[in-house]
Chain A
Amino acid sequence: MKPRSSPWVQGKWLLGATCLIAALLVKPVQDRIDARLHRASIDPDILYFSSPAALKALAVGYDSLLADVYWMRAIQYYGRRAEAARRQVKYKNLPALLDIITTLDAKMLDVYRAGSTFLAEPDPVGAGEPMEAVRLLDKGISQLPEEWRLWFDKGFVYFWYLGDFRKAGEVWLGACRVAGTPPWMEPLAARALSQGGAIETAKDLWRRQLEGSTREDIKENARNHLASIQVDEDIWTLEFFVEKYAAAHGAFPARLEELVHAGFLNYVPKDPSGMAYQYDPTTAAVRLSAESKVHYLALPYNYREAFKERLARLYESSRQQKK
């Protein structure tokens, strides 16, 4: 019988131990190599075929699957905010990715709808390319002409992101010819054509986006826009009454609550997340609190003066009534 400590057994143990040590060392060595790679990385961007038609030919019948894969890639590309922030142009390849997806599978309605929002939203939320959004929606309309939502979205891009209210009204009017378009589209078009730029129309549009969309990211975006509009209007209202208070008392109020005591307001509004607005009594500036949970998005056009004029008219008429 062979003794257990024979050179053969010793050799086996030595071999096993060597392999085990080597296996354990693979991870730290790989980490060292990775550390060298990440340090030098500067402009991470996505890899894609520049010709959607060529990619469609290469898909050899798996177009639909490849479209799904590219849609997932587009979502990741758009969703990785930290990575996008490191690029010189945040979402420069987004139009190309969306073009590839819609060439591979022209019937993906969500790609046109969500994709146009990703493209049209200004920095930091989106690519800030509203005309690319219009192009994508035009492609969608040519592929899915019976889909009124694409007309609605195109009009929305013109109205909100490009500030072209007349064009928005024309697009929505065009949508009225599509079967299945809801009855509110025609008054919406009429309102945009006659009173182009009314913020009430914009609020109505965002509410429709919030209620009508099935995608959570689109709903979230609509919620953020509605909250931002409310923040702007609250701040302008507070600033208006602070000026009125100063005119009546010769000094700015020390706290916003003094506007209520002075009878200008029934209550001091809070932001949509429930936080009080910050007020600086030396400059009379009102702003969103640093602790606020509101994801504020600046409006693409400023209607501050128009809003304050309207507020002044309402204020004067209410004073006249009291007299």
Chain B
Amino acid sequence: MKVLAIARNTFRENIRDKILYNLILFALLMILSSFVLGQLTLGYENKVIVDLGLSSISVFGTLIAIFVGIGLVYKELERRTVYALLAKPVHRWEFILGKYVGLLFTLFVNVAVMTAGLGLVLAYHGGVPLLSFLRLLPAVYLIFLSLALTTAVALVFSAFSTPALSALFTFFLWIIGHFNSELLEFARLTKSAAAEFVATILYYVLPNISNFTVADSRNVIQSAAYFEPIHAAAVGWATVYAVLYCTVLLGLTTTIFSRRDFK
């Protein structure tokens, strides 16, 4: 209950944030512009709309996850509202989990708004049956999972660093997360056992964002743009990965946050 109360307040706080509205507005404009761009192509109009629409959801969702995520804990500390909150019988892990769930819900609403915008553009353009549109939803869900993971990464940094540095660290990890498989390739190629060991460890320790952008060796957005189904098992394993990784990150955030002295 305490977690839900904190989550509800976090959500309310987030939706008052101007940056959030700006980002959603940009995303919706991008999705709408896909309709105009779709007119410029020869064939593949719906593909252009879906490509631009899902990419906008992913890019602007990531920006929201980073820019709102990094301020979650820091803002509470800066405004000293955390003192009042932690004076109450609220555990620190409840505070962290509540903040995280609140931001996840914010992201969920944003992604839903952007997906609805994409759906409207596709419906206006026509030629996409409802069943085909439903095939976009697994791709949207995988994008949402990547946002959940990015938020958890941002939260870890938010617990001990300034927003600027947190944004930088999260952004770098997000980039690395897309090229993680190169680390494994390096581990296979290197002739040094120590380098192979380190590269393999890093491969598992660093967040693997490509788990959500590539399903069964096919780019998720590309599959969606052709309205091809994404295998349920691939979505399932990506979900399990996201849950496990986010649990570890939330545990880490709680540990860091528990060690902070607010006296």
A26 x B244 contact (CB < 8 A) = yes
B194 within 8 Å of A by Cβ?
no
- Interchain CA distance A275-B30 in the complex, whole Å: 71
Check if A32 sits within 8 Å of B237, measured CB to CB: yes
Contacts of A40 in B (CB 8 A): 216-218
Q: Which residue of A lies closest to B91 (CB)?
A: A11
* Complex contact A41–B237 (CB within 8 A): no
Contact of B93 among A15, A29, A41 (CB under 8 A): A15
CB-contact partner of A15 in B217, B233, B251, under 8 A: B251
B214 touches A37 (CB 8 A): yes
Which residues of chain B are near A15, meaning CB under 8 Å? Answer: 93, 251, 254
**A320 on the interface (CB 8 Å rule)?**
no
Enumerate chain B residues within 8 angstroms of A36, measured Cβ to Cβ: 216-217, 233-234, 237
Complex contact B91–A26 (CB within 8 A): no
* Cβ B241 vs Cβ A26 within 8 A: yes
With both chains docked as a complex, state the minimum distance between the C-beta of B209 and any C-beta of chain A, in angstroms: 12
Q: How far is the CA of A25 from the CA of B242 in the complex (A)?
A: 11
Number of interface residues of B (CB under 8 A): 27
Q: Within the complex, which residue of A22, A27, A33 is in contact with B247, where a contact is CB–CB below 8 Å?
A: A22
Contact with B along A29-49 (1 / 0, CB 8 A): 110111011011100000000
Residues of A within 8 A of B184 (CB): 34
Contacts of A30 in B (CB 8 A): 203-204, 208, 211, 241
What are the residues of chain A within 8 A of B247 when measuring CB–CB?
18-19, 22
**Chain A interface size range:** 20 to 34
In the assembly, what is the distance between CA of A15 and CA of B92, in Å?
12
CB distance from A76 to the nearest CB of B (A): 6
List of B residues within 8 angstroms of A33 by Cβ:
208, 211, 234, 237-238, 241
Q: Distance (Å) between the CB of A36 and the closest chain B CB? A: 5
A16 CB within 8 Å of chain B = yes
Contact check, B216 vs A37: say whether CB atoms are below 8 A apart: yes
Instruction: Report if A307 contacts B (CB, 8 A).
Output: no
Residues of chain A with a CB closer than 8 A to B218's CB: 40
Q: Which residues of B contact A37 (CB under 8 A)?
A: 214, 216-217
1/0 per residue, CB under 8 A from A, across B225-250: the answer is 00000000110011011011101101
- Judge whether B189 is part of the interface by a CB distance below 8 angstroms: yes
* Inter-chain pairs besides A26-B241, A29-B240, A37-B214, 12 sampled, C-beta below 8 Å: A15-B251, A16-B251, A18-B247, A19-B248, A25-B244, A26-B248, A33-B208, A33-B238, A33-B241, A36-B217, A36-B234, A39-B217
What is the interface of chain A, defined by CB distance below 8 A to chain B?
A: 8, 11, 15-16, 18-19, 22-23, 25-27, 29-30, 32-34, 36-37, 39-41, 76, 80
